[in-house]
Structures are given as structure tokens and as C-alpha cells.
Amino acid sequence: MKIIFLDIDGVLNNSSTEERFEGFIGISPALVAIFNKLIQETNARVVLSSTWRLDKNWRETMARHKIHCVFLGATPHLYKPGGEYVPRGEEIKKWLDDNSQYQITNYAILDDDSDMLEGQPLFKTSWKEGLTPEIAEKVKQHLC
């Protein structure tokens, strides 16, 4: 099984996204189309690693924005003692460690931030552009 860990802000929206969702920047239909094509071409499953996962209705939100994929769930929201922030790469590692039943053959991380662990396959987007066809192609080549 192939997995994509998906961030939303800076991946499925960008600096020119006009849509708003509950007062925040929404999700760009154009970027969702690129992502949906990537999912179709790779048959990857998705784990939401974005802070959007903290909303109890995140699955409905993703469906409303026509994100067509199989979500296996979301990464855990981890804190160190005292409330110190845990890098997203640690949350991804924890999800992988806790979900070995999926027999993952390969994975990729789509994110506009860099707080991953060494060796994790990050495909970094930018807040200005979000997911581009070129980055999607690199993810496809990595997963297939």
C-alpha cells in the first residue's frame, strides 16, 4: 500500500486562493484537481497530517471540497511534556509505527513546511504556489 501524508495549507491552497472556509483560507479547486489526478494515477491512500485534522468534521470538509481519495485517518497531535511542539515528522513516524497492519510499501509527504525527520520523503510545496503538476509528478515517480 502507498500512502500520502497530506498537509492542506500551502498544498491544496496558496497565496491566491480566494475561497474562504469558516473565515480561513479555503481549498483551491484547481489544486484539488492536481491532487485527485495524483491519487488516481498512484492509487495511494491518504493520511491527513494538516492541522485541519483537529476539526472533528475534517472528513466532511474534505468531501465537501471534492477531495477524492481513501483517507486512512489522521496523524496524532503530539506534545512534549510542558506542551512543547512536536515536529510533524514525529507525528508521521508515530502514525507509521502504530499502523503497521496496512503493509505500507512506500509513502510520500506533501507539505509546505520542513519539520520532518531525516530521511522522510518530503515533497515540499510553497505557500505561494501550493501543489504544482511538477511536484505531483515527482510524487508519482517516487510512489510508482
The answer to whether residue 2 is domain-embedded is no
How confident is the prediction along the chain (144 residues), in pLDDT tens digits per residue?
999 999 999 999 988 877 666 656 788 999 999 999 999 999 999 999 999 899 999 999 999 999 999 999 999 998 877 778 889 999 999 999 999 999 999 999 999 999 999 999 999 999 999 999 999 999 999 999
The answer to whether residue 56 is domain-embedded is yes
Domain span at residue 98? 14-136
Please tell me the distance from the alpha carbon of residue 11 to that of residue 143, in angstroms, as a whole number: 18
Question: Which helix (H) or strand (E) segment is 89 a member of?
Answer: helix 88-98
Sign of the alpha-carbon torsion through 19, 20, 24, 29: negative
Q: What is the pLDDT of residue 19?
A: 67
Residue 130, helix vs strand vs coil: strand
The answer to whether residue 8 is domain-embedded is no
The answer to whether residue 33 is domain-embedded is yes
The answer to whether residue 143 is domain-embedded is no
Predicted TM-score (pTM) of this structure: 0.93
Total domains, the chain: 1
The answer to whether residue 1 is domain-embedded is no
The answer to whether residue 85 is domain-embedded is yes
